[in-house]
């Protein structure tokens, strides 16, 4: 009996289904990979968006115009806002201030000095108005506080002079120098006297 022939079309290859499935997976692989990348991209975008967004700038402090700052500083200085102005009780002397004037340093005896001159008859006397210029404000105050001793020293000195001693500019210059030396001794402060002025002089006889 002849062997039964099998139809080639009816013969099935066991590896055919596996090959077909492999081809199908190859076709789906790009789609799957694309879907995975899309999901990963979306997730990364969600987490990275805050980091990549521009940071908000801190608010900038408002700067006042320079004219306004200068005006306020000037106003504060005019109303005594500096140290030692309103609360110090006395004005603060300015650095390098002007020196006292000659008028402020000048002291004059309250009344003219009348002295009997050294004369045998005792009938000659002199009447003088004297001003003293101090070398400083402190010396001026010292002179005023010692008016009586200075007046006494003046009378004692002139009472030992004769009329001839006081004649002419030379005699008056000598009297100035001697008075200055006497005044320094009374005050106990050398060079406190700057100058001496004779503003009135009258020699009389009785």
Quick count: other Cβ atoms within 10 Å of Cβ 151? 16
What confidence tier does 91 reach under pLDDT thresholds 50, 70, 90?
A: very low
pTM value surpassing 0.85:
no
What confidence tier does 128 reach under pLDDT thresholds 50, 70, 90?
A: very high
Say how far apart CA 46 and CA 48 lie, in whole Å: 6
Per-residue model confidence (pLDDT) at position 79: 44
DSSP string, 139-160: HHHHHHHTHHHHHHHHHHHHTT
Q: What pLDDT digit, counting tens, does each position of 165-200 carry?
A: 998 999 999 999 999 999 999 999 888 999 999 998
The helix/strand/coil state of 51 is: helix
For 153, residues 6+ apart whose C-beta sits below 8 A from its C-beta are 179, 182, 183, 185, 186
């Amino acid at each position: 009996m002849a062997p039964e022939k099998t139809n080639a079309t009816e013969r099935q290859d066991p590896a055919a289904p596996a090959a077909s499935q492999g081809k199908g997976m190859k076709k789906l692989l790009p789609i799957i990979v694309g879907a995975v990348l899309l999901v990963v991209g979306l997730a990364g975008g969600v987490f990275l968006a805050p980091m990549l967004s521009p940071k908000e700038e801190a608010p900038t402090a408002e700067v006042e115009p320079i004219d306004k700052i200068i005006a306020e500083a000037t106003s504060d200085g005019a109303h005594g806002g500096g140290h030692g102005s309103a609360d110090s009780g006395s004005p603060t002397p300015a650095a390098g201030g002007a020196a006292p004037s000659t008028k402020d340093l000048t002291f004059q005896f309250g009344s003219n000095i009348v002295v009997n001159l050294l004369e045998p008859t005792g009938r000659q006397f002199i009447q003088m108005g004297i001003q003293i210029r101090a070398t400083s404000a402190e010396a001026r105050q010292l002179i005023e506080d010692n008016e009586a001793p200075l007046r006494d020293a003046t009378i004692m000195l002139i009472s030992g002079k004769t009329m001839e001693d006081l004649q002419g500019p030379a005699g008056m210059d000598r009297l100035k120098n001697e008075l200055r030396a006497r005044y320094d001794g009374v005050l106990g402060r050398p060079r406190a006297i700057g100058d001496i002025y004779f503003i009135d002089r009258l020699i009389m006889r009785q």
